[in-house]
Structure 1
Amino acid sequence: MQFSKKTLIISTIFSYIGCQNSSSKEAVKHEIIKPVVISTWNHGLVANEATWELLVNGGNALDAVEAGVKTAEANPEVQTVGLGGFPDREGKVTLDACIMDHNNNCGSVAFLQHIKHPISVARMVMEKTPHVMLVGEGALQFALEQGFKKENLLTEKSKKAYEAWLENSQYKPTINIENHDTISLLALDENGNLSGACTTSGAAWKMHGRVGDSPIIGAGLFLDNEVGAAAATGMGEAMMKTAGSAMVVELMRQGKSPEEACKEVVKRIYKIYQNTPDLEWLQVGFIALNKNGEYGSYCLRPGFNYAVQTKSLKNQLIDGKYLLP
């Protein structure tokens, strides 16, 4: 095959441009910020402190995220997680949680009763069984076999709130109150490894047996150690309809920043709900953290906040950017 002089010149020019672009891409290096911890809502401030203590002392991200969310599970004043969590419409406190490490190992429990720290049970499911998720009586039986103690999780404060709700027994969620039912936490450790944890008592006054997104890998939590991690809070059904956290990670894989990725999935959720009556009370929010230590968040409405800490940023609460006024 013969080429004209003009063809050879054009080919040479494009080859040169390609080499230049390739060299430019290879030359771009992002400064990696580590360690980093990011978590949802104001109870994330306390969770971050426990997480950070492990991270700055060389601890791994998996231990750190578990320790972080356990602070909320053990605090009866946090009425959306663990001990003192709001019960379902039958007056029973049922808990959901999941955890995931940098090797894509994960564990989950759902509809678990009587155990204060479902996140630790989820970790044992990950490490001591061939399964990812245990639910209900099976999850409780496993927890008791592992040495967890059976407790009454319905505190007097939450019981009174439940009795007040019983007067009308109407399920009408309030934005940023009954919907902020989760603590989700992501961490990047000194070794550059990611882990995440998510734990909740679920939506207050939910139907008995209802499970939200928090124990669902890909909906409430997801990470890929080559890319980043994401977690959700808010009304779980919306996250399950979009595989929300997994989609945030995939959008970061495509080059979007953590905030851009969160915003894109929030917009997808809004599109699903925009012509439905549920939009009136719907709130969803995402947090995301990539491998470079860059973090971001986005939510549907104002009112969602998240806590962040790095070596250069003191643990602080930040208001999430939002789509709707």
Structure 2
Amino acid sequence: MQETPFCLRVGHLPPYSMSDSNTTDFTNPFTFILLGIPGLEGAHVWLSIPFCAMYAIAILGNSTILFIVKREPSLHGPMYYFLCMLAVTDLVLSTSILPKTLSIFWFNSREIDFSACLIQLYFIHCFSAMESGIFVAMALDRYVAICDPLRHSTLLANPIVAKIGLAVVLRGGMLALPYPFLARRWPYCTTNIIPQSYCEHMAVVKLACVDIRISNYYGLFVVFSVIGLDVSSIVMSYTLILRAIFKLPTKDARLKTLGTCGSHLCVILAFYIPSVFSFLTHRFGHNVPLHFHVLMANVYLLVPPMLNPIIYGVRTKEIQDRLLQLFTYKGT
């Protein structure tokens, strides 16, 4: 009789049994099992309420931003083009995880096709990198608008904005492309249970029964190159911006100029702080409770898409005015 190999590639996996989750065989050749938030299974229905509310606010808010900018020719400028890119990115990010997460919470629908898992994985990492790149582009726009306002329309003309947007999209797409290919090539054995509510790169490849240092090193490279380079660029831009602001002659001018940057800084902090925390706990936070780590991993992808349109809607007078005009017009 021919001996069965210990490690089996996805596509040749024996049936799944819940008898022992640590030595689980696979349910079918192309399926992973998402646990949702381990340790908080009894609270899944209650957790779905804030999750669903955040998703609804993200959809409504970002769609409103896109509608207002498209409808108002006076908002067709670099700042608002980048804001529209951010809105689209937020819509894709939240939609890539929330429907499946809610199906786990509401219907206990834990299975996810292996190919669908890799697609979700790619979209999460691709659009996260894109969002970080958009923040750099927005910081560049604020720098030019404050430090060299007379040349703003020349330096950030529409063709240049389009090239910046294309570069952001291509960078995100190319950097995330190796993730699903690396995950697909590893052999998986013993378990197909992912202790999260969505398919994150390290959560998936940790199930492989071979040395996954290539995946780990590439993930570190992407995080440090994207976050390190982007945060450094943003810090440099705002250092120059603050120097220019404090050279303004009056206090009112300084406060008004600072106010135009406040919304951008709030959005940046809302994105980078949870993402860095989630990254560090995934690799080094072995003493962090699993349910807390999974909650933070969801916060990192759900809270910024919800907050971004609220922050920009509250802090950007032009959007406020157009929104009020829209409601006033509908009310008359």
TM-score over 0.5 (shorter chain):
no
TM-score range, shorter chain: under 0.3
Which one scores higher on RCO, CA 8 angstroms, separation ≥ 6?
2
**Higher percent of residues as helix:** 2
TM-score (norm 2): 0.27
